[in-house]
């Protein structure tokens, strides 16, 4: 495998941004498999590789829209206070259409007494970030969403997760969703807030 340069790596990281509007174009299965594999190359506590991904496409994806719209109700008042009217309206449309993204991925943590809780969920979020970067490398857009947590139990039921033994034991936990597709807009990336974020000691 060819070695990437530091410049290429940092350009990849810096070019990642949340995409919320997508072209009417399917994502090939082999591309999705590479993105998921990138996620599963993340580090994990005690090498448990405790991530569990549920990929939703086609008719099932369309059925999820009613849940996305319902999750909007839990956060719209907060966002209305934070966002400019035009951005608020754009965000509301996104929740009602998911930006026409053809692929949804729901990321779960398989928690266990063998590992501390925050280490387990942190492992999954590292996998999710790998997937975000893989989307950039593949020419795709991605947006990581916490909104499904507003209606967590309903999402669990929609995905059939509630029927799994791990879930019945209280071991499976939804952490976030991702929308994936080919970008149909190029929004500006929010400036990075650097003040007070890093403390140096020696």
Q: For residue 38, name the pLDDT band (cuts at 50, 70, 90).
A: very high
Mean pLDDT of the residues in the chain? 96
Q: How far apart are CA 92 and CA 167, in angstroms?
A: 31
Q: Model-level pTM greater than 0.75?
A: yes
Q: Where are the domains of the chain?
A: 19-181
Residue by residue, DSSP assigns 69-134 as: HHHHHTTHHHHHHHS-HHHHHHHHHHHHHGGG-SEEEEEEEE--TTS-HHHHHHHHHHHHHHHHHH
CATH 3.20.20.80 holds for 19-181: no
Widest pairwise Cα distance in the chain: 56
pLDDT tens readout for residues 120-132: 999 999 999 999 9
């Amino acid at each position: 495998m060819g070695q990437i340069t530091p410049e290429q790596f940092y350009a990849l990281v810096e070019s990642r941004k949340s995409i919320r509007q997508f072209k009417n174009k399917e994502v090939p299965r082999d591309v999705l498999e590479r993105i998921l594999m990138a996620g599963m190359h993340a580090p994990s506590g005690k090498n448990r590789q405790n991530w569990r991904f549920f990929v939703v496409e086609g008719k099932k994806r369309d059925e999820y829209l009613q849940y996305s719209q319902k999750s909007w109700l839990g956060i719209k008042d907060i966002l209305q206070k934070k966002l400019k009217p035009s951005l608020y309206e754009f965000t509301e449309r996104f929740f009602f259409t998911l930006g026409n993204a053809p692929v949804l991925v729901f990321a779960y943590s398989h928690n266990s007494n063998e590992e501390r809780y925050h280490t387990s969920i942190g492992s999954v979020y590292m996998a999710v970030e790998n997937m975000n970067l893989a989307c950039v490398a593949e020419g795709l857009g991605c947006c990581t969403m916490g909104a499904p947590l507003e209606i967590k139990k309903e999402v669990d039921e929609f995905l059939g997760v509630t029927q799994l033994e791990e879930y019945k034991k209280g071991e499976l936990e939804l952490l976030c969703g991702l929308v994936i597709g080919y970008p149909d807009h190029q929004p500006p990336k929010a400036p990075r807030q650097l003040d007070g974020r890093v403390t140096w000691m020696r």
